[in-house]
Amino acid sequence: MGLGFFLDLNRCLGCRACEGACQNWKGQGFSLRRVQAFTGQVKGRWQEYYLSLACNHCENPECFRVCPERTYNKRRDGIVLHNSGRCNGCNRCLRACPFAAPRYNLATGKVAKCDLCVERIDNGLAPACVEACPVKALQVLSLEAGRELQERWVPGLADVNITRPTLRLKAPEVGVRFFLVD
């Protein structure tokens, strides 16, 4: 069973609650998740949407392949982990990742990256970013259960053919915007 992020681009409001939750949970001086606004053509019409991206826990991670210190490993559930104790801060993984997921930490001189809040996952909880999303645009899904979610690329996202990220998307629909009403 592989795990990955699911992002509904019709729901994401660009509020950046996921960024703040990541920064607070991980205690870094920066978030390992970034929200960016993009404009792309959806069925012939221009549409603005937000991409909330962190590590996509790729099936073929380039960070894993290029690291000379072998600081990366992949769990059976597909989560790609980084062992900062082995990291020498060479930044090869930063240059290799098409999604700019690993981030250089100036305070430590080493790389840090999203680990899908593995300690929360192991305790049956959602990652901090998922839990913080007020409109439930960001979710964690089992890739087996998510096979019907075929969108793997939208304008603004890097080429997915080499690394095969586990991120799945619900592409923006023409004129659709989600607003939470309780």
Mean pLDDT computed over 61-83: 95
- pLDDT digit string (tens) for 126-180? 999 999 999 999 999 887 765 566 666 777 777 788 898 998 888 777 665 554 4
Average pLDDT for the chain = 87
Q: Residue 68's pLDDT is what?
A: 96
Dist CA 117 CA 21 (whole Å):
11
Verdict on whether the full-model pTM lies above 0.85: yes
Dist CA 70 CA 83 (whole Å):
9
CA-derived radius of gyration, the chain: 16
Domains of the chain in start order, with CATH, are 3-170 (3.30.70.20)
Give the DSSP H or E segment for 17. helix 17-26
Dist CA 21 CA 4 (whole Å):
18
Q: Residue 128's pLDDT is what?
A: 97
